[in-house]
Amino acid sequence: MNNSEVTPDWNVLYETASAQDGYFTTRQAAEAGYSTQLLLKHIHAGRVVRSRRGIYRLVHFPAGDYEELVIAWLWSEQTGIVSHETALALHGLSDVLPAKVHLTLPLSWKNRRFRVPENIVLHYFDVSANDRAWFGAVPTTGPGRTLNDCALENLSPDLLQQAAQQALKRGVATVDELTDVKEYLRGFGGLNI
């Protein structure tokens, strides 16, 4: 059965969107039986709003705290992982306030040609399942992985030191995990535990 034969099911669309802070993609809508034309009717009726090309939001769904992250994740075809300074902020490590969403995509995406939204900074790496965590609706790098990524990207030594100390104090990372952090901070007096 192709998508044109699927009967539109608002409950399926709502269930998909509710797991993603009220957002869904064109593909997910089609899987629930909604053609682009039918989505347009729902936009005109005020039930759906277009957030970005191929990404929509249910209008009456309660607003989430991290909608920008969900949109970035959906833009990446649910492949990206929130990382680097954005993940630091999510984990509550340091006083970093990222101006853009940092997203790590698989290495296989590195040579793809696509338009990157201006609020997203891309990194490429195949993040293992052990280095992942979930924050609400989106995957993020775990604390140890996040700290090492920030060290490799030359985050301010003061912020990295603060973040590492907080992670160690809370027990969300171990000194042995922070190999890149220790190496980077060696040039700035070392990791103070």
Q: What is the dihedral of CA 7, 12, 106, 141, to 10 degrees?
A: 180
- Phi then psi for residue 159, to 5 deg, are -65, -40
Strands 138-141 and 132-135: antiparallel
Q: Answer whether 108's CB lies under 8 Å from 127's CB.
A: no
Q: What is the pLDDT along the chain (193 residues), one digit of tens a residue?
A: 454 567 999 999 999 999 999 999 999 999 999 999 999 999 999 999 999 999 999 999 988 888 999 999 999 999 999 999 999 999 999 999 999 999 999 999 999 988 999 999 999 999 999 999 998 889 999 999 999 999 999 999 999 999 999 999 999 999 999 999 999 999 999 998 7
Listed in sequence order, the DSSP H helices in the chain are 10-18, 26-31, 36-44, 67-75, 84-90, 143-152, 157-170, 179-186
Task: Extract the tokens encoding 117.
Answer: 């939204």
Which pTM does this prediction carry? 0.89
- What pLDDT score was predicted for residue 5? 65
CA distance 167 to 173: 6
Residues paired with 104 in a beta bridge? 81, 123
DSSP assignment, residue 109?
A: G
The encoded tokens of residue 123 equal 């990194």
- Supply the pLDDT for residue 192: 86
Contact between 43 and 63 under an 8 Å Cβ cutoff? The reply is no
Distance (Å) of CA 54 to CA 4, 26, 137, 162:
18, 5, 18, 39
